[in-house]
């Protein structure tokens, strides 16, 4: 909730702008469906009447535009270089939410420079009062750019799959976020599960390893909140091939329903 402040001219309380709930969606490795989760989660939240913006923070290797079948004339690159205003880069997306798209293949944004740091922070501070939820779709891994983008979020969603390499990389990400950012609570989404309950079992397994080997900079062991699982579903491949949101193409599919359940857990009551 917004906290009131005093207006010296009227002596009446004035509400400060309410800021968006900011969620960073990240992963330890690529190919786990992070951007798929970000985009379809945004659509599911928008269906609940929330104003949602997805910021593509995978600078240099952006693919949110491909997932959404968008061909932007203006991207974050244009905003960063002063060729366009931020307002011009905010685009409507299928699914009823808004997007800020990054340009792909921009090597200059693959590392964290003072310019990238300042621009990202400024953008988030500027757009936050206009939306209920801001989803930051980060790159994969633990590069400086990814970690900085994650640091700008209130909450973190780590996306993993049941594959051993994905679980190992998810653990590494959790360890770094705990030690470098003192994160005490993280959400976990397990994608591409083959049976019901597999995601929760993986969360329990990861938590056991974290309890044993991870202690944050503040001495607190991070806790994983199991946000939900998305079943392996042929409909996902069809949606990706057609460059459509699963929530739009097949909202009744098992994977789409998994996304809806995740969105329901995130929705303020």
Give residue 4's pLDDT band: very low, low, confident or very high (50, 70, 90). Answer: very low
- What is the predicted pLDDT for the residue at 269? 55
pLDDT band at 219 (very low <50, low <70, confident <90, very high): confident
Dig out the tokens for 233 from the structure: 């579903």
Alpha-carbon distance 135 to 128, whole Å?
11
Mean confidence (pLDDT) of the chain: 91
Q: What is the DSSP string of 23-36?
A: EEEEESSSSS-HHH
Mean pLDDT throughout 251-256? 98
pLDDT at 3: 44
Pick the more confident residue, 26 or 17: 26
The pLDDT assigned to 112 comes to: 79
How far apart (Å, rounded) are the C-alpha atoms in residues 41 and 95?
Answer: 10
Tens of pLDDT, residue by residue over 117-167, are 999 999 999 999 999 999 999 999 999 999 999 999 999 999 999 999 999
**Per-residue model confidence as pLDDT tens digits over 72-130:** 999 988 898 899 999 999 999 999 999 999 876 566 666 778 888 999 999 999 999 99
- Of the candidates 184, 111, 107, the one whose C-alpha atom is nearest the C-alpha of residue 147 is 111
Residues whose CB is less than 8 angstroms from the CB of residue 170 and which lie 6 or more positions away in sequence, other chains included: 27, 28, 158, 160, 188, 206
Instruction: Tell me which residue of 264, 185, 261, 181 sits closest to 224, measured CA to CA.
Output: 185
pLDDT at 215 exceeding the cut of 80: yes
Averaged pLDDT for residues 185-198? 98
Q: Helices (DSSP H) in the chain: which residue ranges? A: 34-46, 64-67, 76-80, 86-89, 114-127, 144-151, 164-181, 198-213, 234-241, 246-249, 254-266
For residue 168, the model assigns a pLDDT of 96
Residue 236 CA to residue 254 CA, distance in Å, equals: 10
> Can you tell me the mean pLDDT for 184-206?
97
- Count Cα atoms within 13 angstroms, Cβ side, for 253: 21
pTM, to two decimals: 0.91
Q: Is the pLDDT of residue 230 over 80?
A: yes
What is the pLDDT averaged over residues 212-220? 86
Residue for token digits 């857990």?
265
pLDDT at 133: 97
- Kindly report the number of other CB atoms within 10 A of residue 261's CB atom: 14
Q: What is the mean pLDDT of residues 186-202?
A: 98
* Ordered domains of the chain (ranges, CATH): 17-260 (3.40.50.300)
- Residue 192, pLDDT score: 98
Helix H or strand E encompassing 222 = none
Instruction: Please tell me the distance from the alpha carbon of residue 80 to that of residue 120, in angstroms, as a whole number.
Output: 9
pLDDT (tens digit, 9 = 90+) per residue, 237-248? 999 999 999 999
Band (pLDDT 50/70/90 cuts) for residue 267 is confident
CA 267 to chain centroid: 15
């Amino acid at each position: 909730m917004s906290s009131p402040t005093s207006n010296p001219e009227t002596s009446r309380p004035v509400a400060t702008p309410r800021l968006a709930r900011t969620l960073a969606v990240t992963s330890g490795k690529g190919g786990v469906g992070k951007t798929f989760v970000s985009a379809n989660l945004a659509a599911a939240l928008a269906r609940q009447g929330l104003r949602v913006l997805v910021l593509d923070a995978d600078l240099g290797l952006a693919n949110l535009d491909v997932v959404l079948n968008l061909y932007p004339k203006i991207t974050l690159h244009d905003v960063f270089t002063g060729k366009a205003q931020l307002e011009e880069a905010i685009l409507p997306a299928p699914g009823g939410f808004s997007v800020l798209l990054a340009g792909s293949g921009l090597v200059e944004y693959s590392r964290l420079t003072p310019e990238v740091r300042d621009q990202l922070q400024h953008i988030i501070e500027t757009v936050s009062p206009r939306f209920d939820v801001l989803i930051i779709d980060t790159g994969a891994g633990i590069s400086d750019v990814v970690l900085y983008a994650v640091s700008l979020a209130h909450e973190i969603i780590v996306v993993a799959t049941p594959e051993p390499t994905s679980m190992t990389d998810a653990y590494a990400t959790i360890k770094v976020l705990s030690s470098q950012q003192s994160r005490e609570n993280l959400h976990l989404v397990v994608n591409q599960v083959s049976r019901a309950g597999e995601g929760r079992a993986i969360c329990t397994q990861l938590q056991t390893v974290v309890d044993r080997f991870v202690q944050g900079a503040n001495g607190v062991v991070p806790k994983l909140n199991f946000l939900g699982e998305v079943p392996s579903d042929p409909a996902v491949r069809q949606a990706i091939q057609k460059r459509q949101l699963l929530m739009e193409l097949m909202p009744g599919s098992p994977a789409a329903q998994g996304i809806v359940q995740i969105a329901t857990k995130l929705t303020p009551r």
